[in-house]
Amino acid sequence: MTNPTPPGQVPEALRLAEILEGDYCPDWFYEQGVDEVAAELRRLHAENERLAALVEAQQPAPSAAADPQLLKFYGVTTDAELIAAQARHIERLQAKLPQNQSFAPQRVREG
**Per the domain annotation, does 84 fall within a domain?**
yes
Could you tell me if 23 and 46 lie in one domain? yes
Q: Are residues 16 and 43 in the same domain?
A: yes
Please tell me whether residues 40 and 71 are part of one structural domain.
no
pLDDT band for position 41 (cuts 50, 70, 90): confident
Say yes or no: 17 and 43 in one domain: yes
Whole-prediction pTM: 0.41
Question: Is 5 part of a structural domain of the chain?
Answer: no
| Phi, psi of 10, deg, nearest 5 | -80, 135
Q: How many domains, the chain?
A: 2
pLDDT for 27 beyond 80:
no
Confidence of residue 86 (pLDDT cuts 50, 70, 90): very high
Measure Cα distances from 48 to 35, 38, 41, 42, 92 in Å: 20, 15, 10, 10, 48
19 and 53, same domain (yes or no): yes
- Does residue 107 fall inside a structural domain? no
Buried b (16+ CB within 10 A) or exposed e, 83-92: eebeeeeeee
Q: What is the 3-state secondary structure (H, E, C) of 27-50?
A: HHHHHHHHHHHHHHHHHHHHHHHH
User: In this predicted model, what pLDDT tens digit does every residue of 47-72 receive, in sequence order?
Assistant: 988 888 888 888 766 655 678 888 89
Distance from C-alpha of 41 to C-alpha of 32, rounded to nearest angstrom: 15
- 89 and 74, same structural domain? yes
Q: Which domain holds residue 17?
A: 12-58
The residue among 2 and 21 whose pLDDT is bigger is: 21
- Same domain, residue pair 34 and 49: yes
Share of the chain above pLDDT 90, in %: 8
Q: Are residues 48 and 66 in the same domain?
A: no
Domain contains 72: yes
pLDDT over threshold 70, residue 45: yes
Of 32, 58, 46, residue with least CA distance to 3: 46
